[in-house]
Chains A and B, each alone.
Chain A
Amino acid sequence: MDFNGLSLDQAPPISAPLRFFLTAPLFGIIAGLILLFSDASALMSRYSLESIAVTHAITIGFFAFVMLGALMQMLPVLAGAKIAKVKLVATYAHLLLSFGLIALLVTFLWQSSLSGFLAFVLLGAGFLLLLIPIAIAIRGVSNVTPTIKSMKNSVLFAFFTLFMGLFLLYSYLLKDFSALHVALANIHSVWAIFGFAGILIIGVSFQVLPMFYVAPKFKNFCKKRVIWLIPIGLLLWAFLNLYDESYALFAKLWITLFFWAYATTVWKKLNERRRPISDVTVWYWRSASIFLTLGAFLWIFDEYFKHEYVVMVAILIGGGFIMSIMMGMLYKIVPFLVWFHLNAAGYMSIPTMNEFINKNLARLQFILFIIALIGFLGSFYAPILLEISSLCFILSMIILEFNIIAPVRVYIKIKKTKPDFDMSSFMA
């Protein structure tokens, strides 16, 4: 057993997760700007370069950044697993990924192959630099709980997503498309969303919902089986897509069934929660549950309409489900990290978590985000809505950035003063 996992310095330095969390809304703003300046008709197709650019600004810039930051923070707490040289790894990986993603967006928007090769190298290096130490840390965990299992599976899907993504980019740059290019792009996106992000979110919520809201615990069936049933569905789906597409619907039904059941369970757990508090984080869990349900059904429905609705599915599941939950969690994690690190450093008279973020601004951010999502869906029928929805989205990302910077500013300010207690002997 790893006895060194639990020591006073076990939490990673605050800068490691925060740099990822604080960058995420910035890429959200960039995604919003691309949407604002794109033609509505181009965005109707998932294969237009504008759509691909927006998707990656959100999936890498927001989702992957938040997930990687959260994994770094959660692994020591959940499993006593420490990531080796976490500060160094986080700093460099963050730089590589940020520049890599910018290069990737430039590649798609301005068709520059030079930046394409740069993106290939930087993103590949950035992801591997972080995913490998995370995978090693998880492998060393001896008490494997369902949440840790979900992290294992999620990271495995992250590797596959990365390799497929790099291969797709490479073929795009060389204009050398294999016969399986479209099928591979399909698997890349579905595994990224349901595998990398979906499984991680489900696994973490086993802990988070009972913890933060004193909601009833998830049943053992959910915790033990779903973590395997979803990956099996995803593998089956990929296999059928490559070999016999006519049966792919069965695997799709399989995957959807579990995600829909999960959405319903989340809703029920929230209703049965023992804490009466209903803050913006609860609203985000609820909106995630609704959008996931709609997205899951539309994904099946889409099968009968020549995939006309697949972009809407992406908005519902990517924006409505994944992004909702991540923002809700950012509102909890960032103030807590600030409080925890200040308190551990001996500062006793500090604001409580609720005082770090202006509640009304958080509510406004939520409302703007939901309006933007509904507007994006509506813009399929009324393209005129795209512009105003993009503006709402950008504004909500700006407010999100402001809201999560607010606690960090308090942190910096207080850190400049002298602590109430000298904790240096504890921290050795």
Chain B
Amino acid sequence: MSTIKEFLSRDHSRCDELFAKMEDIAMKSLVDAKLACGEFVNESERHFQMEERVMFLEFEAKTGMTQGPTAMMRHEHTQMRSLMKQMLDAIDAQNKDKFFGLSETLMILMQQHNMKEEQMLYPMAQQHLSEESQRIVSMMESMIVA
């Protein structure tokens, strides 16, 4: 069983791959990218919810910090969700320039967000939640996305 840090970091890489695949298809034809974009958005949403509905709650309960790092990460999830929605709209509107402008913005936002999580929040969570680590990972794995 992997640790919280390993599990969620791996999920970041998986989302990165989906992102790259989506851009690859969009480069050739924006219409065809709709499916790949949907897949990327859904999987990212799943990742956000694994954090927001499981890991962040456990972290907050354990440390008592509700206005600290998790609040910041939630805020950035909101920013990313908004960009993802605009990307889907750009596909519907067949606006390739807009789509790639949004994807570029999302990419950097997402990466600096992931970096903060992987280098600070996850190690912190792993440290505080090491005993519950397995339970938390299996809860995240079996979670049904709302």
Neighbour of A354 across the interface among B27, B72, B101, CB < 8 A: B101
Neighbour of A80 across the interface among B27, B79, B100, B116, CB < 8 A: B116
**Interfacial chain A residues near B114, Cβ < 8 Å:** 211
Flag if B127 contacts A6 (CB, 8 Å). Answer: no
Knowing A6-B72, A274-B17 are in contact, say whether A352-B119 is a contact too (CB < 8 A).
Answer: no
Flag if B100 contacts A277 (CB, 8 Å). Answer: yes
**Nearest chain A CB to B107 CB, angstrom units:** 7
Flag if B101 contacts A8 (CB, 8 Å). Answer: no
Flag if B75 contacts A426 (CB, 8 Å). Answer: yes
Knowing A214-B19, A348-B82 are in contact, say whether A8-B105 is a contact too (CB < 8 A).
Answer: no
By DSSP majority rule, is chain B's interface helix, strand, loop, or mixed?
helix
Flag if B79 contacts A8 (CB, 8 Å). Answer: no
Name the residue among A6, A78, A336, A355 with the largest chain B CB count within 10 angstroms.
A6
In angstroms, Cα B73 to Cα A8, docked, is 9
Flag if A77 contacts B97 (CB, 8 Å). Answer: no
**Interfacial chain B residues near A248, Cβ < 8 Å:** none
In angstroms, Cα B19 to Cα A275, docked, is 8
Q: Please, which residue of chain A has its CB at the minimum distance from the CB of B17?
A: A274
**Interfacial chain A residues near B89, Cβ < 8 Å:** none
Flag if B101 contacts A212 (CB, 8 Å). Answer: no
Interface residues of A in 201-219 (CB under 8 A from B): 207, 211-212, 214
Name the residue among B82, B120, B124, B127 with the largest chain A CB count within 10 angstroms.
B120
**Interfacial chain B residues near A79, Cβ < 8 Å:** 119-120
Knowing A6-B72, A8-B72 are in contact, say whether A340-B109 is a contact too (CB < 8 A).
Answer: yes
**Interfacial chain A residues near B65, Cβ < 8 Å:** 3
> A190: CB under 8 A from chain B?
no
> A264: CB under 8 A from chain B?
no
> B104: CB under 8 A from chain A?
yes
**Interfacial chain A residues near B120, Cβ < 8 Å:** 5-6, 79-80, 143
> B69: CB under 8 A from chain A?
yes
**Interfacial chain A residues near B16, Cβ < 8 Å:** 214, 274
Flag if B72 contacts A7 (CB, 8 Å). Answer: yes
> B121: CB under 8 A from chain A?
yes
Knowing A143-B120, A352-B98 are in contact, say whether A274-B104 is a contact too (CB < 8 A).
Answer: no
> A45: CB under 8 A from chain B?
no
Interface residues of A in 39-89 (CB under 8 A from B): 77-80
Neighbour of A78 across the interface among B68, B108, B115, CB < 8 A: B115
**Interfacial chain B residues near A7, Cβ < 8 Å:** 68-69, 72
**Interfacial chain B residues near A274, Cβ < 8 Å:** 16-17, 20-21, 24
Please give the residue numbers on chain B whose beta carbons come within 8 Å of chain A beta carbons, in ascending order: 16-17, 19-21, 23-24, 27, 63, 65, 68-69, 71-73, 75, 79, 82, 97-98, 100-102, 104-105, 107-109, 111-112, 114-116, 119-121, 123-124, 127
Q: List 13 A-B contacts (CB under 8 A).
A: A3-B63, A6-B121, A78-B119, A80-B116, A80-B120, A143-B120, A145-B119, A211-B111, A211-B115, A214-B16, A274-B16, A274-B17, A354-B100
17 extra interchain contacts, Cβ-Cβ under 8 A, other than A3-B68, A6-B120, A352-B102? Answer: A6-B68, A6-B69, A6-B73, A7-B69, A8-B71, A8-B72, A10-B72, A143-B120, A212-B107, A214-B19, A274-B16, A276-B24, A277-B100, A348-B82, A352-B101, A353-B104, A354-B104
